[in-house]
Amino acid sequence: MAGTPSELRTDRLLLRRWRDADRAPFAEMNADPEVMEHFVRPLGRDESDDMVDRIEAHFDREGWGLWAVEVLDDGRFAGFVGLWPTPPDLPFSPAVEVGWRLARHAWGRGVATEGAEAALADGWTRVGLDEVVSMTTVTNVRSQRVMQRLGMTRDPADDFEMPKIPEGHPLRDHVLYRLRRPA
């Protein structure tokens, strides 16, 4: 995509393309059971590195994706936030999701909301999206609060079971939030 930025900035955050130096803290974050409590299991180093490779390939191909996040006051890698295509087997696909995953040191500081607002603004203006979704497990109240702060709305009729999670698993039930491009 022509004109793809290499970064987005907010007052407190740098959203940027991924660097090799991000791989170790990203793998550490993905191995943290508390960070990954709303996923079936933590990720190993190879899975984490594969995810970075997929994110960067998507940026190269499409011009948008999941940005690596740095908090400007300390320069530390804090996780990711950005836009990502939903899996094709979901009932509302194709769609683009706004999502985030943050290291514990970045929790409770408004990083997810601030970063998602920047990613959404880029999605509306540069990428040309008309609607964005966000999804999480029923039990992930923290992420649902971020979705609500972003102005996203939930219709319980859109809630669904995540097909890749086994039947009967406590994380299978998911909520779906939506946000239309501002007029």
Hey, what domains does the chain have and what are their CATH numbers? 7-180 (3.40.630.30)
CB atoms within 10 A of CB 146: 23
pLDDT at 105 over 70: yes
Which residues sit opposite 82 in a β-bridge? Answer: 66, 99
**Whole-number Cα distances in Å, 97 to 46, 65, 85, 134, 149:** 24, 10, 6, 5, 16
Q: Give per-residue pLDDT as tens, 29-83.
A: 999 999 999 999 999 999 999 999 999 999 999 999 999 999 999 999 999 999 9
pLDDT at 1 over 90: no
Q: Give the model's confidence band at 5: pLDDT under 50 very low, under 70 low, under 90 confident, else very high.
A: confident
Rounded Cα distance, 129 and 75, in Å: 30
Is residue 86 a contact partner of residue 94, using CB atoms and an 8 Å limit?
Answer: yes
